[in-house]
Amino acid sequence: MGYPMSDEVQPKKILIAQQDATDREFVRTFLEVIGGYEVIEALSGVDLIRKLRLQPHLILLDTQMKGDILRALELMARAPTLEHTAIAILSYEQTKIRVCLEKGADGFIIKPFSPDALLAKIWKVLGAEQPESTAEVAFTRNFKKQLTKIENLPTLPSVYAEVDRICQNPDVAAEELSRAIEADPPITLKLLKLANSAFFGFTRRIRTVKDAVSLLGNQAVRNAILNIAIYEATKGLDASAGLNKKLFWAHSAGCGSIARFLNQKLKLNREDSFTAGIIHDMGKIILDALYADYYGEVLRVVEQRGLSVRDAEAQVLGLDHGSIGLELAAHWRLPDELLDAISHHHTPSRAEKDPQIAALIHVSDALCRKYKVGSGGDDVVPEVDPKALERLGLTPENLAEWQAEILETVSRDKAIMAVLN
């Protein structure tokens, strides 16, 4: 006779991720036969992420599981689809348990554990009646607590923070801003190359940073430094699941060029339009590099099923690059007005902080894909949200009329990638 179960007709699902075949077989059999649960097995970290789509009620994760389980925990703790799924750690080691709890696990069972202790844990997690919990079992019902930061996020060169601070004062002297920039010789060199490129189109040569500041203005220089700093910060991310970085940056720069063109045509007064295009997909770079073991499955689904990267991310990981991009933006302390370009360029009608920039990047991204400028990781061309056009005062006829100018602008602005490289 088994232990009491809930009144639900369908048994609850438990996903067990254990490396040792004997341990896994024991836990699976015990939970199925005695507990009456439906058990799903994962044989590695990658297999664990792959099987999240089966929507388990509980995940039992052994710290001896093959793969980077801390990265897997970072992903699972951030997935909205797992908001009501508890994660329990199985481990001999207290130190590993502590780290896992910091990464988003909800509780633990210390190994070796008795069958009764295991069931007591599961009852507590799933809300069934239970005996008093034992010392080797601990759990919090506050499933999604405050997340720790993603480990090893790239850091922006310090010169950007100083430039940003100085530019908060609209009356700052060109000399002061120039000195801050010149403290970083490599970025100074790239700024001067950019200022003399076709991107800005000056007819005379700009020889000093002070000249660049005087001609471009503080905010344009600040945005240029940010664009350079973003590329510098991410170029050292060597690990990759297979995202084509060259095509990715071409797409990002192309999106920025189109946004900048539309900003000028529509007189939106958005000096951050190009930067917003550059950063809109930055979450993909982070997922591809820091979560390479798991993001490879996303890219495989894109290739095999013809899905967009965003849809494949949701299907495989339970989250998308927009949410990871927001964490990166917070880590870099980017201006608030850029956040909706990251989180809502696919869904501009949901933007709250700055719906204008969300609409601008939404349209620019769609055009960039339509014109096959670089690649965001897939070949899907999204439909433009009519409300985004309306917000910008745009019509499909405008876009058709300006197509040749847009393509010419994108071609001219390729100069920025030559500078960044």
* Token pair recorded at residue 162: 């100083």
Distance CA(144)–CA(14), nearest Å, equals 18
The pTM of the full predicted model, rounded to 2 decimals, is 0.87
Mean pLDDT of the region 42-71:
90
In CATH, what number is assigned to the domain containing residue 262? 1.10.3210.10
- Domain match, 411 and 290 both: yes
- Domain match, 56 and 168 both: no
Does residue 129 form part of some domain? Answer: yes
The sign of the torsion formed by the CA atoms of 82, 83, 85, 91 equals: positive
- Domain match, 410 and 340 both: yes
pLDDT tens-digit readout, 240-282:
999 999 999 999 999 999 999 999 999 999 999 999 999 999 9
In CATH, what number is assigned to the domain containing residue 91? 3.40.50.2300
- Domain match, 243 and 340 both: yes
* Backbone φ, ψ for residue 67 (5° rounding): 110, 170
Distance CA(384)–CA(357), nearest Å, equals 15
Category of 372 on φ-ψ map: left (φ > 0), alpha (ψ -120 to 50) or beta: left
- Domain match, 223 and 133 both: no
- Domain match, 128 and 168 both: no
- State which H helix or E strand residue 88 sits in: strand 86-91
Buried-exposed string 165-203: b where 16+ CB fall within 10 A, e elsewhere:
ebbeeeeeebeebbebbeebeebbebbbbbbbbebbeee
pLDDT tens-digit readout, 150-201:
999 999 999 999 999 999 998 899 999 999 999 999 999 999 999 999 888 8
pLDDT tens-digit readout, 97-140:
999 998 989 888 888 888 888 888 788 777 654 434 433 444 44
Beta strands in 98-236 (DSSP E): 107-110, 137-139
Full domain range(s) for residue 72:
13-139
Burial environment of residue 401 by CB neighbours within 10 A (0 to 12, 13 to 18, 19 or more) = exposed
Category of 67 on φ-ψ map: left (φ > 0), alpha (ψ -120 to 50) or beta: left
Q: 3: pLDDT confidence band, cut at 50, 70 and 90?
A: very low
- Domain match, 130 and 189 both: no
- Cβ atoms of 89 and 80 within 8 Å: the answer is no
User: Domain tally for the chain?
Assistant: 2
